[in-house]
Amino acid sequence: MRKKYINLAFKCMKKKSLGYIFRQPVKLLGLALSVILQKRFISPLIATLIPTYRCQSFCRKCVKKNSYHASPEMSTNEFKNIISQLSEMKVSAIDFSGGEPLLRDDIMDLLSFASKKGIFTHISTNGYLLDRKKAETLISCGIDSINISLDSTSSDKIEQLTGIKGAFLKITDAIKLLLEARGKQKKTTEIGVVTVLDEDNFDELPKIIFLLKKYGIDGLTVNPLHLFPNSLIKNSISEKNPGIISDLLRIKRTEPLLENSARYLKLLKHFWNGEPLPIKCLAGYSHVIIDTYKRLFPCLHWHELGGESIILHELNIRKALGSDLYRRITRKTLQCRSCYWNCYIETSLIFDPLLSLFYKSKSD
Ligand code: SF4
Ligand code: SF4
């Protein structure tokens, strides 16, 4: 199982209420039953909120920035209403993503609001806006976890990948300032890095790990580069590096920093061969995304694949999740084999041994 889930479970045991702890096994069981019977018995485990699609960066890996359009974004109160509903529905975690979420002026208010509800609160950021003051404010919001993207240790390459001058320095400064702020405030916020791997940076992984260990980062998660909508094409990475999966597994054995599970890393051989995901994807039941244009959909890549979403006209999440249209959408996600994105697939892997008793799985 992904190391982060184990760490988070321990952290929740220390910090959250007993009710929160006892609810989690029930939710996991409910999720398995929902998938087997294709009927939703529980609310999603994880909700991702997209407060904005605006972003200063121009990453070629970006799967979300194309979703930006000129409609007004949801207001602070509307987002607070959404967070309150998610809290009542007992979702286990809220992830603030984007675009770049720190571009919202009210983001610290929204993060504190979610954290005070006792929900596990996480933010993914490019870090460019994090000066000392903002890093301290972010840590003081009481959030549980922060991820920053870093795809190379070469400043030139990072500038090429993001289109932003000085991006490497901005990212590494943000990492250092967050770690400093956490130390100063004696908080336990997990600070991690996400690296998107492709043939251009795979051989840099040991260097990235070395750098992150030097800084004292808590964990590194890797995702393979997906170029939607044609995410499943044979990639030259495994031709150039025939031993790539054994290399990843060796790094996993020797570097506790690498968060991905060994089972997930083994699956990547199928991805780089251009093969569809060989297990059932549970994203439609385990996750839900709500974006700033009041759209509700199952995963971050759904629109890139031409999938439908539901508009939350009355901001009523339960009603949307229970609608016939959303039932059809979740059933489609069970058939979808289009990505190997870590957060969805690691959750699906937890259930694969049980589900393979009901469905045929070819995960190895
Ligand atoms: S920083 Fe994130 S949201 Fe912005 S362009 Fe890059 S991947 Fe997209
Ligand atoms: S495989 Fe799952 S997470 Fe990936 S695009 Fe399809 S439904 Fe979304």
Residue scoring higher pLDDT (363 or 326): 326
pLDDT tens for each residue of 96-123: 998 999 999 999 999 999 999 988 999 9
Beta strand pairing status for 145-149 and 120-125?
A: parallel
Ligand nearest to the CA of 307: 2
* Beta bridge partners of residue 47, listed in sequence order: 94, 288
Ligand nearest to the CA of 163: 1
pLDDT tens for each residue of 148-191: 999 999 999 999 999 999 999 999 999 999 999 999 999 999 99
Residue keyed to tokens 């007004």: 72
Residues in the chain, how many? 364
Strand ranges, E, within the chain:
46-50, 93-96, 120-125, 145-149, 190-197, 219-224, 287-291, 295-297, 310-311
Q: Atom 8 in ligand 2: which residue has the minimum CA distance?
A: 299
Rounded to the nearest whole angstrom, what is the distance from the C-alpha of residue 330 to the centroid of ligand 2?
10
| Ligand 2 atom having least distance to the Cα of 348 | 2
Rounded to the nearest whole angstrom, what is the distance from the C-alpha of residue 276 to the centroid of ligand 2?
11
Q: What is the pLDDT of residue 362?
A: 52
**Ligand 2 in reach of 344 Cβ (< 6 A):** yes
Ligand 1 binding pocket mutation candidate from 54, 100, 170, 225 (most atoms within 8 A of CB): 100
Residue scoring higher pLDDT (262 or 18): 262
**pTM to 2 decimal places:** 0.91
pLDDT tens for each residue of 268-289: 999 998 999 999 899 999 999 9
| Ligand 1 atom having least distance to the Cα of 126 | 1
User: What average pLDDT does the chain have?
Assistant: 89
**Ligand 1 in reach of 64 Cβ (< 6 A):** yes
Domain boundaries, the chain: 3-355
CATH assignment of 3-355, among 3.90.110.10, 1.10.3720.10, 3.30.70.580, 3.20.20.70:
3.20.20.70
pLDDT tens for each residue of 292-329: 999 999 999 898 888 899 999 888 999 999 999 999 99
pLDDT tens for each residue of 23-34: 777 878 888 888
Residue scoring higher pLDDT (263 or 27): 263
